[in-house]
Amino acid sequence: MAYIVVEGRVPLQGEVVVGGAKNAALPILAATLLTSDECYIENVPHIQDILSMTQVLTALGAELQWLGPNTLVVRARGLNSPQVPAALATRMRGSFLVMGPLLARFGQAEAPHPGGCAIGTRPVSVDLKGFQAMGAQVERQDGAYRARAPHLWGERLSLDYPSHTGTENLLMAATLARGTTVIENASVEPEVVDLAHFLNSLGARIYGAGTGIIQVEGVEKLHGTAFRVMPDRLEAGTFALGCAVSTGTVVMSAAVGPYLGALTSKLQEAGVDVRIDAEHYVVRSNGRLRAVDIQTFPYPGFPTDLQAPFAVMATQAEGESTIHETMYDDRLHYVEELRRMGARIQVRGQTAIVQGPTPLKGAEVRALDIRSGAAVVLAALAAEGRTVISDVHFIDRGYEGIDRKLAGLGARIKRTENKDAPLDDLPLATRPEANAAPREVPLERPHDVQPGAPAY
């Protein structure tokens, strides 16, 4: 079993490179199924969820090859099967994103109810109702969803709520539908916009992404592309909060700034110095923090994926902070792990009440999901003494080399299978690798298409 070991109370100093956004790369990889041409995708995070998605695509019949640590070529010439293997689907919710592309291009799709982090109810009803409205027959049998349609028709879809995954699935399905599709109450998350940019670079006709109403004019065929995935605002936010709790100065690319408005505002309210110029997003903390209240909400509100890391900052702030989770009904379990380290937190329904400042102490704790895993890492940075974090595979699902990146900022942190060894005796960690080698495609970048987004 792998562990992450941290010796805390070391200020973070320096510049860190933020990787590609997991929540943008997953639907973009699913969207490569919409064309038989080669798609060259840069800035793909090398994390476990992405590796699982590459295995889903390979199982369906796509050809893939990593050209470097973060560059992936995908070509879906044909199809072995329209069925997502159950063993892969249960690993992550993102596996369900292939339903829309499969249905649009091949006329059929089948997938089990998706797995992923245990953070509460996460239905797929928005996706399925949309497929049905566009002309598909959808049924559930033996725990799997099956959808069939000789072709899809453009339709006006009014979503029950602005589902991130639902919007993406329907957006992909609509690109090859006959006629015009209008998606009302669509998600406005930046990752949805990045997917729309990618689809347009394939030849789709999508208008209004980033607003509550998206219009898609269906086309007969999509072509290959070269594209660069947007930076991960959640990884950037994690590093910003890490700086806040450990003191010091952390510098990131200014490209992350436009996506961090809600977090930036709350950091500044708490007394953290955040400055953005043409090139940099700079976070400075002297450790003197004020209590702040937050309530999670879809973008541009405060992101639910940063509320657990934010709770760690609240433990170091003067006064009482309240953290109200509005999006998932089972996302406060991490509180018990922080209590093991001395945090004073009460949970009342969907609200965590945090008393600070509290001196945290090193302890043995668990990563319960991706973001609670990040939270205990940040708590370890703020804590006195040695913290040992288990179940780090959850962290690897969403963060590429978080231990190496934090070590580059000066943190005393390493990954090990010997949790009792002195930190200085531990070797540097290696990244998790794919469980199965992908099929190979030619090692060359497509020269007949233009990148779909600027380099960040």
Catalytic residue among 30, 117, 308, 380: 117
Asked whether the beta carbons of 38 and 224 are under 8 A apart, the reply is: yes
Buried b (16+ CB within 10 A) or exposed e, 349-386: ebebbbbbbbebbbbebbbbbbbbbbbbbbbbbbbeeb
Dist. CA 194–CA 230, nearest whole Å: 7
- Listed in sequence order, the residues at least 6 apart from 95 whose beta carbon sits closer than 8 Å to its beta carbon are 52, 53, 56, 84, 88, 89, 111, 114, 115
For strands 412-416 and 386-390, give the pairing: unpaired
Q: Are 409 and 252 in contact (CB under 8 A)?
A: no
For residue 357, say if its preceding peptide bond is cis, omega within 30 degrees of 0.
yes
Chain centre to alpha carbon of residue 288: 30
Length in residues, the chain: 456
In angstroms, the CA 298 to CA 301 distance is 5
Query: Which is nearest to 438 in space by CA: 53, 25, 36?
Result: 53
C-beta separation of 57 from 29 below 8 A: yes
Buried/exposed code over 57-95 (b: 16+ C-beta within 10 A; e: otherwise)? bbbbbbbbbbeeebbbbbbbeeeeebbbeeebbebbbbb
Active site residue 39: no
- Helix or strand or coil: residue 37? coil
The tokens for 228 are: 């660069």
**In the chain, what are the helix, strand and coil shares in percent, each to the nearest 5?**
35, 25, 40
DSSP letters for 94-158: GGGGGHHHHHHHHSEEEEEPP----SS----HHHHHHHHHTT-EEEEETTEEEEE-SS-B--EEE
185: alpha, beta or left? (left if phi > 0; alpha if psi -120 to 50)? left
**Nearest CA to 180 among 211, 206, 155, 205?**
155
Determine the Cα–Cα distance for residues 96 and 110; give it in Å rounded to an integer: 9
Catalytic residues, by residue number, are: 117
